[in-house]
Every structure is written in C-alpha cells, then in structure tokens.
Amino acid sequence: MRTLAALAVLLTACATTTPTATTATTTTTLTGPAAADPAVVRTDAGAVRGSVAGGHRLFQGIRYATAGRWEPPAPPPAWRGVLDATRPGAMCPQVGSPYAPVRSENEDCLFLNVTTPAKPGTRRPVMVWLHGDGALGAGHYSDARRLAARGVVVVTINYRLGVFGGFGHPGLRDGGTYGLQDQTEALRWVRRNAAAFGGDPGNVTVFGVSYGASAIGALLTSPAAGGLFHRAIMQSGETLMDMPAGSMVPGLEALPSFMWRSRAEVSALGRAYAGQLGCADLACLRALPVEKILEVPQIMNAFQTYAYGNRVLPESPAEALRKGRFHRVPVLAGATRDEHRLFVAMNYDIQGKTPNYPKLVREAFGRKAPDILRKYPINRYKSPSIAWATVLTDRMWARATHEQNTLLAQHVPVYGYEFADRDAPMFLPLETGFDWGAYHAGDLPYLFEEKDTPLAPAQRALSDRMIGYWANFARAGDPNGKGLPGWPRAGSGTLALEPGKIRVIDYAARHRLGFWK
C-alpha cells in the first residue's frame, strides 16, 4: 500500500487558467425559426444551444452520462426545450496541484464540449480528446478551435479522476475502471450524436496526452470499446512503461508498470484507504462527503491507475498489446525529446535541490550503474538534473514508446513522431531557470490554442503543420498531405517535429535504445 500511495506522479495536461465551470441547466422552448438556428443542435436526449463566433460553433457542458459514486455511467435522461450549452459543465472532483490551482467537489461532472466549423457540413471526421493527468483537469481547458478550422469536429470530455475514477474495493465488481468506463460512454454518445454536429460517427479518432494517451492504450484492449473509434493518437503515453527506483518519486522503489494494477492490488489499496476514512464497507464510503475523501493525503494520486482482471479490462493492456490482442485501428503515436526533464525539475530544481546523479543511477540500476554512468557521463550535460533526466527519458519513455509502436506496427499502420522543439514555451506556472527542453506535454500549445502561451513565428508554423498532420490522420488514417513533409510509417523512421526542421530520424539511435536493449 505504501508503494502505490506514494505515486504522486505529476502528469501535465491542464491549462493554467481556471475559468469557472458551471452545470448547464437552463432551458428554453425550441419553436419555429429557432429550429434552423446554427447555434442549436438536437441531440438524442434533447436540444442544446451553443455559441457561434469566429468561424466556429462551440457547445459546452453537454451531459453525456450520469453515474453514482463507483457505479457504471448511464446515458443521460432526456430534457425538454433547449439546454444552455454556452458554459462548461462542472469539473470532476479534484484538489489541484502547485502547477494547476483548481478544485472541485462536484460528482455530477460527466459533461463534454463540441467544437465544429461554423460552415455547415456533414460527415466530417470526429476527434475525441482525453486530457492528461488522471487526478486533475477537464475537457473545457483544451481550446480546439484551430483543429476544428481544418474541417474536424472536436469533442473534449470530463471523466472521473483519481479515487473517483480508479478506486477498487472487494465489493466492487469492476472497481478501478470507472474513469475508463466514462470515456467509453462518451464514445457511445459520440456514435449516437456526431451526425447532429456535422460529424461522421463512422470516422472517430480518439486522441490524448500522457494519462489520456495511456487510457487509449486501455481502450485499444477493452472489449467494450470495440467499434467505437476508428483511429488513435497517443501523445506521450505510458502504456508499456515501467518505473526504475526513484524515477518518478525520490525514494520510491521500482514498479513493473506505470499505469496498470491487478484487481487484487487495487482492491487491497482501496480497503486500506477505507480504513483511513473510518469505513468498513462500501455503504459507509458512498455516504462520505466528497470533501472528507479529498482530505486524505495522496488519495487522488494513489488511484491514478486502472485495474485489470475484470469485465472492462480482462488483462493488462501492456500484456494485451504484446500479444497482439487489440482493436485493429491505425495509430499515430510518439513522445517528446526530453520527456523526463519536467519531473526531475519538479522533484529537485524547483525545490532548490540538486540530485546526486551517481547515487540515483546506482539505486535505480544496481550492478548496471557503471555502464550507464560511462554511457551518460555527467560532464556531458549542463547539470546533474539534465543528466538524470536524459537517462530516464531514454530508459523509460523512449524505450516504451519504441516498443509500443513496433508492436502495433506488426498489425496496423503506425506513424511515429518525436516532438523536438527544445525552446517550447512553458505553459505551466513554473518559474525557474531550468532548461526545460522539449518537455513532457510541451506539444500541447501547438495543437490547442493557449492565449497565455504565445508561439514564435517558426513555432507557429510548426503548430500549423502539426495540426495539419493530426487532422489528415483523423480524416484518412494517414497524416500525409499536400504541403507537408513526408511522414513514413513506423519501421522506416520517426518524424521529428521541430521548427523549420521537420525530418525523419533514427529514433532508436537518438535515444541509445541499442544500449538499453
């Protein structure tokens, strides 16, 4: 229990602004000319009124499901009249973090947002975004206007987080999977309603970053998600990643998986936390106020995993991918060049500490440490932090990403990338002189509009091309298109995305994967 509870893993994907989120409940009557209003769309549960401006239509706070605490989601009840969809719905319960000071105690939070081109159209590709982190965030933080401008319908969703999304207990049949069930239910909503927003329910791409990308690894292997999406984009996912000792949290021992826990492990962890909350059974736990649960330190982070060995995930997604048991859809997947610099900086530099690089390598790799220290000598890097981050980027992120893409490519078309802009602007409120490089989730402002994170002209040009690649892939399962540098399939190279220098690289050589093999 101590090991799992210590997983205070800081996976970024939440914008720094915190607009007020409210549950949209206002309705008006739909009559006469209003039926032809471009701001009004009729879903299978009722009509919604969004906003039209700047070449796009935006619908926010649409309820896609309802769910009791640690219960499966169900389609929402129908309503009469026109629901106001001009404001975000409530965020799922969360306590925020130093880099995202947000908080919510509202369990009525299963809402989504839809951004479409303002110009009428039909059978447009649909992209469903899963935000990262797993303990904080919400769909409305991702401004999808630039993606929608490429003729795409973009859906961003809320899903249950932390202890409310990944909690397990002996009395729960499918415990540890509620956030994943929410994502699957949102995809069912898309299948029923995409056409009403001009989208094609037969051409749905699910895409996500970090925790959201790992959730896609689960959706690829979950029987319930079969047929609900037709392409997948995984940005900095951890589906196949393990954790050497001290890699994510100083002093934490090695773990064989970053994302997946057996049903028995999660149930035992849940029982232990139930004791801390003074409860002996589920009835007691379900009666607790949200704020009481959130008072327990680390409880949100302790359940930033999904459980397997149940109906939702019969086996670990990592093992399922290795055995070729996944839904056959084209995949676009990659990572950033300097993934682990963010985590090292947050553990050390931001706190005014300097890591003991040789000691950390010895603790993580034991008898192999001398070889690693020779391969990554400290005098080659700007600081001990950069040296340690480089080791972990190669050993954890690059190795897992390369294995993932190689396995998937044995069965489906795969396009691998590396986001390599080492001058990417930091969109989190982290002030330090640290050299972030192409940090974890640093590619987000290149896909979603970030008004507080301006891009230089060359970076804006890269952003335009990335959005073009992503939209092309959603449209046809192939990112290539007119005016874009060629992108080969995995096995023939990885596309490095860098301002003014998009090119094919040898990813394995860049990250010394021959050494790590």
Please give the Cα distance from 176 to 169 (Å, whole number): 8
Q: What is the pLDDT of residues 179-233, one digit of tens each?
A: 999 999 999 999 999 999 999 999 999 999 999 999 999 999 999 999 999 999 9
pLDDT band at 81 (very low <50, low <70, confident <90, very high): very high
Looking at residue 501, its pLDDT comes to: 96
The residue annotated as part of the active site, out of 104, 142, 210, 316, is 210
**Which bin fits 236, alpha (ψ -120 to 50), beta or left (φ > 0)?**
left
The per-residue pLDDT for 451 is 84
State yes or no: pLDDT of 17 exceeds 80.
Answer: no
Rounded to whole angstroms, the maximal C-alpha distance in the chain is 77
Token match 């029982």: residue? 271
pLDDT at 165: 98
- Per-residue buried b or exposed e for 278-303, using 16+ beta carbons within 10 Å of the residue's own CB: ebeebeebeebeeeebbeeebbbbbb
For the question of residue 210 being annotated catalytic, the response is yes
Would the pLDDT of 28 be above 60? Answer: no
Tally of CA atoms within 13 A in the half-sphere of 391 that contains its CB: 32
pLDDT digits (tens, 9 = 90+) for 153-173: 999 999 999 999 999 999 999
pLDDT in tens, 414-434: 999 999 999 999 999 887 789
Burial class (CB in 10 A: 0-12, 13-18, 19+), 393: buried
The fraction of the chain above a pLDDT of 90, given in percent, is 90
pLDDT class of 101 with cuts at 50, 70, 90: confident
Distance CA 323, CA 19 (A): 44
| pLDDT band (50, 70, 90) for residue 12 | very low
Q: Where are the alpha helices (DSSP H) in 113-226?
A: 145-148, 162-166, 178-193, 211-219
Q: Would you place residue 20 in the very low, low, confident or very high pLDDT band (cuts 50, 70, 90)?
A: very low
The pLDDT score that the predictor gives to residue 32 is: 42
Residue 35 has pLDDT above 80, yes or no: no
Alpha helix (H) ranges present in 172-328?
A: 178-193, 211-219, 263-276, 282-287, 290-294, 299-302, 317-322
pLDDT above 80 for 448: yes
Given a cut of 60, is residue 355 above it in pLDDT? Answer: yes
Residue 316 pLDDT grade (very low, low, confident, very high; cuts 50, 70, 90): very high
The sheet with strand 47-49 has its strands ordered as 27-28, 82-84, 47-49, 40-42
User: Which pLDDT belongs to residue 395?
Assistant: 98
Q: Which helix (H) or strand (E) holds 458?
A: helix 457-476
CB within 8 Å of 4: residues ≥ 6 apart:
261, 265, 269, 302, 305
Give SS3 for 342: helix
CB of 92 closer than 8 Å to CB of 108: no
- 135: Cβ contacts below 8 Å, ≥ 6 apart: 94, 95, 97, 161, 162, 300, 301, 304
Domains of the chain plus CATH, in order, are 1-194+256-329 (3.40.50.1820)
Helix (H, G, I), strand (E, B) or coil at 335: strand
Of 398, 400, 402, nearest to 511 (Cα)?
Answer: 398
C-alpha 331/C-alpha 206 separation (Å) is 10
- pLDDT score of 23: 44
Mean pLDDT of the chain: 93
The whole-number average pLDDT for the span 286-300 is 97
pLDDT confidence of 26, banded at 50, 70, 90? Answer: low
Token code pair at residue 205: 């791409």
Counting Cα atoms < 13 Å in the Cβ hemisphere of 456 gives 11
Residue 25 has pLDDT above 70, yes or no: no
> Is 90 exceeded by the pLDDT of residue 36?
no
